[in-house]
Amino acid sequence: MSSSLLTNSAAMTALQTLRNVGQSLATTQNRISTGQRVATASDNAAYWSIATSMRADNAALSAVSDSLGLSAATVDTQYTALTTVLGDKTAGLTKLQALLVEAKTAGIDRAKIQADITQIQQQMKGTANAATFNGVNWLSATATTPATFNLVTSFSRVAGSPPAIGTITVTTANYSLYTATASGILDTVSGGASIDTINISALTDSAANQTTLDGYIAQVTAAIGSVSSAAADLGAIKNRISTNMDFVKSLMDSVDRGIGQLVDADMNAESTRLAALQVQQQLGTQALSIANQNSQSILALFK
């Protein structure tokens, strides 16, 4: 094997090997420090692009999750108020119906019964007015209350198509107990009075007054049916929102796992590779040192 002072082939080979080992070592150290094998587009353009898009989708899903939480709180507030207005044997429409039936009794003091009725009327209106969450109230609608509300429930994106935002449309009129135009369940006038304005204090045992009481009882019975239907509808919406919340959270976790499978580094493999490369680097340095000593050996021949 010939030796040359101008060209040290062994040193060049050792240097090239050491350079390659250094590059591999830098890549491995970067993966260990970031925890990702695809941290930039230059690492793997296709996987990086997919992961970036999926992270954006997950951010949108996070916004949907927040929106579902807000929607759930809003619906729950309206639902709670409706069930309170519906009441039981001690309050609400149920108690009001019982009082009107009691008022059918001959010779009873209807003025005293009216005192209870008035308290129930005020309590129901106060409950409806208080059913406000984040400025939204479907039970006590004003002139500025929107006719419909869209509750965001989902986000999906298919390649080549614009993102689709799923919503539940809520029609305010289906739940309004009181409105600015007196067209709600409890303030719509029927038979000369609305449930909000029923007054039996001046009624007697006459046949005409008994007929009036029958009309009031029928009116309250119909209202109980309407409020029950509205509450049942909100209950179904509550269940749907709750199911969607669980699904969105599970979907976000699934997307995170998918992204991880694309771009995350296998830390066990990377740590093993790091140890091997460090040994290779040490051996490469030693080989380069040995190759550089060849020139010194040549000089020794001239002594």
Q: Is the pLDDT of residue 185 over 90?
A: yes
Inside any domain, residue 58: no
CA atoms of 241 and 190, how far apart (whole Å): 36
pLDDT at 300: 67
> Is the residue at 140 inside a domain?
yes
pLDDT range class, residue 195, cuts 50, 70, 90:
very high
| 2 found inside a domain | no
pLDDT at 29: 83
Residue 200 lies in a domain: yes
d(CA 187, CA 247): 40
Per the DSSP assignment, residues forming a β-bridge with 150 are: 169
Residue that wins the pLDDT comparison between 73 and 264: 73
Q: What distance in Å separates the CA atoms of residue 266 and residue 103, rounded to the nearest whole number?
A: 79
Exposed, middle or buried, 126 (CB in 10 Å: 0-12/13-18/19+)?
A: exposed
Mean pLDDT of the residues in the chain: 89
Total tally of structural domains belonging to the chain: 1
Confidence category of residue 4, pLDDT binned at 50, 70, 90 = low
Q: Tell me the mean pLDDT in the region 187-211.
A: 93
Share of residues in the chain with pLDDT > 90 (%): 60
Give Cα 13 to chain centroid, integer Å: 60
> What percent of the chain stands above pLDDT 70?
94
In the DSSP assignment, the letter for residue 150 is E
Helices (H), the chain: 9-34, 45-86, 92-102, 110-130, 207-263, 267-300
**Segment 96-152, tens digit of pLDDT:** 999 999 999 999 999 999 999 999 999 999 999 999 999 999 999 999 999 999 999
Residue 96 near residue 195, CB atoms below 8 Å: yes
Residue 270, in any domain of the structure? no
User: Residue type for 161, please?
Assistant: S
Which three-class secondary structure state does DSSP give residue 151?
strand
Provide the pLDDT for residue 264. 83
Condensed to tens digits (0 to 9), the pLDDT of residues 141-176 reads: 999 999 999 999 888 887 777 888 889 999 999 999
Q: How many C-beta neighbours within 10 Å does residue 195 have?
A: 25
Which domain covers residue 143, as residue numbers?
Answer: 64-264
**Does residue 77 belong to any structural domain of this protein?**
yes
Distance CA 11, CA 14 (A): 5
| For residue 242, pLDDT beyond 90 | yes
- Reply yes or no on whether the pLDDT at 301 is more than 70: no
Torsions phi, psi for 105 (to 5 deg): -65, 130
SS3 category, 134:
coil
At 151, which CATH number? 1.20.1330.10
pLDDT above 60 for 1: no
300 part of a folded domain: no
For residue 283, being part of any structural domain is answered with no
Alpha-carbon distance 205 to 107, whole Å? Answer: 7
